[in-house]
Chains A and B, each alone.
Chain A
């Protein structure tokens, strides 16, 4: 058995760029000999192989066991997944690739602003002997969304190129497509309905439960990767605040800082002596705090006479355990406890 961990990532587009950037930031940079080559290595974690694949194929590739892990948009995963297959979600939010699958109608349809309007229109079309034609690359998700909104009379138009042109060229009446800013839709004279968001999506990591559960080596490689990604993602929400404070001792400074526990960092401040040329006793105070609390922490340190306050980004922030990995192990135990043998 090949014990390398095969990680499938999208071969093009924003999802690919985001994946490569996230891996690089997580100290797991992908080394690809050239852009025509569809496999690559992660030199910092020997044993991890990267496979570049079309995003729409990644779910199937992981589910069929041709890759152990995959990075994919939640929308693509939900469209292609086998509900009771071997794939499970390993990381539910990689904090990039945010988008929405939306229902958009021609801007000139001034009377159609909500799904209720669209429902009426589909009935009107049906009475005239035709279906509302929906162009989409997500037939499964869109069908379910339309049905739930009481729209039953429609037909799906499959299209490979740019969906936005379909209504203009008469190939479809409306479209259902991914939109992050809505700019492309607007530029093509299309408009999203007020309640027309089918799903909100982001990049996720999926894994093949059978493969991961049956190889200690793969699972260990997955842990190494998840540790770094999680520590990187967590670090984005935190900042390190460092200030110099005058006082009598480390204990006294620590006590003053801890008087406001919510502004004293994750576990508390690090206080250490600063050796200066003047006769005063100076101490360096370091606090790792949530990004949103930075200014409050700075003010707190100022109130203690803090000066020369520096705020720096963190590269990684590891906690006692890797939550993504613990969660994965739990899911694998659940998976292997089922009738489906691992």
Chain B
């Protein structure tokens, strides 16, 4: 992209960081280090580039569609990292004789491509494509207190970074999967329902669009005429193949799949079709469950209704009531007990219960989460903003090739968003003082340099000016009202200070 006179511009979505903004980032990273070192999390820096496969194994469709992936000059498929959890877990798996659990912290840039809609206004600010993620991963423990530690660390970090009204929303992916395991459903139908929990929680159409999608994809068993009008089911096709009323083309015409492959595929679908008889019941229960939630305290002048209006049903105030309401609806589940323990653990790790909400209509956007998930929220004026989140991802290590099951969890905050929600006054200005050393006239630059060196050896920060005509006052102002020193060669070693 070129500007006037062929000047090369920044790639869209990528920002330069300098001056005050750079200082704020520096300071935020220092705070992050302090908060997480205090809990034993060791800093790690993984490469900017990883093998693409690392991010495809368990991340899911959204993240893989946001990859900056390309073929390296050596022919391998590589990507700029879109997140840090998978690289850190990869790093953890490479540690020999590691003492479990391992604790890692990071503050590093990540890259995610988001499309600019073709009909977006020409002056729309391009979506950011590079962010700094700050976060932590706790690898090798399944203890609920570990969940509390991670939630507590995320909460404390956001507060220490100056975010006001930090709130934490907790959900549980494992509980949803466990609940769906009670029904006679295909794996695909389970995945579909688990992925649509948030859509079911919305008031807009009472989950009708989810139901329509399920019908279109053949997951929702149809009755009567509706069934006849839809395309032939896998069972119909199998029986027609058996009776000879439908023939598969000759083996040579089957492209890359054999007749046996196709028949096996049909048999699998028949099993799923019969398994999905429970789908309507499961959908209905998920619809009800997705509406059960408690709310965190909302800042003053921000009515609850405004932030909760897109959701159906009424929220409770106490988390215990929320979990009880869910228990009444779905009965006993290990996931419910785990969730209750996590809420208690978060409390004992310093999270104010008024800043916590439990939400059964909360689903994760990244596919590797397996248990508790959470979101960290802040506010910009009266709009709630997601600062980041995390959760438990017990299956990721195995998916990345670990021989042993390695339970793990973590969180990450988007530092760019954190800086947006915190005002500049929260951040200490740099106390770095400068002296500007400038020549009084042409020809005494050597003396200026020598004088500057002498001052530096006395631990002063010194900026040298080479041309006596330079605007020294403006330079001094840009350096935070620096002291100005004019060096004049009147006699050897003699100088004048302004």
> Which chain A residues have a beta carbon within 8 Å of chain B's beta carbons?
74, 77-78, 81-85, 88-89, 92, 106, 108-114, 116-117, 120-121, 133, 144, 147-153, 167-168, 170, 173, 189, 194-195, 209, 331-332, 334-335, 337-341
Contacts and interface: CB of A to CB of B under 8 A. Distances in A.
Nearest to B232: A110
The main secondary structure of chain A at its interface with chain B is: loop
B244 interface: no
Nearest to B13: A84
Contacts of A106: 254-255, 257
B61 A149 contact: yes
Contact of A108 (B56, B61, B192, B253): B253
Interface size class, chain B: 35 or more
Contact of A209 (B67, B122, B241): B122
Contact of A170 (B61, B248, B256): B256
B421 interface: no
Contacts of A113: 218, 231
Nearest to A110: B237
Nearest to A92: B119
B62 interface: yes
Interface of B: 1, 3-4, 9, 12, 56, 60-62, 64-65, 67, 115-116, 118-119, 121-123, 126, 188, 192, 216-218, 231, 234, 237, 241, 246, 248-249, 253-257, 262, 265-266, 268-269
Contacts of B231: 113, 194
Contacts of B1: 82, 84-85, 340
A334 B124 CA distance: 8
Contacts of B237: 110
| Among all A-B residue pairs, the 3 with the closest Cβ atoms | A111-B265, A147-B65, A84-B12
Given A112-B265, A152-B61, 17 more contacts: A77-B118, A81-B118, A82-B1, A83-B12, A83-B116, A84-B116, A106-B254, A108-B253, A108-B257, A111-B269, A117-B269, A144-B65, A147-B64, A194-B216, A194-B217, A339-B9, A341-B3
A112 B264 CA distance: 11
Nearest to A88: B122
B265 A195 contact: no
15 contacts: A81-B118, A84-B126, A88-B122, A106-B255, A106-B257, A108-B254, A111-B234, A111-B268, A111-B269, A147-B61, A153-B56, A167-B255, A194-B216, A331-B122, A341-B4
Contacts of B241: 110
Nearest to B188: A116
A192 B9 CA distance: 42
A110 to B, nearest CB: 5
B12, B118, B121, B241 pick with most chain A CB within 10 angstroms:
B118
B479 to A, nearest CB: 27
Contacts, number: 112
The main secondary structure of chain B at its interface with chain A is: loop
A341 B2 CA distance: 9
Nearest to A332: B122
A153 B123 CA distance: 36
B116 A109 contact: no
A148 B262 contact: no
Contacts of A112: 265
Contacts of A82: 1
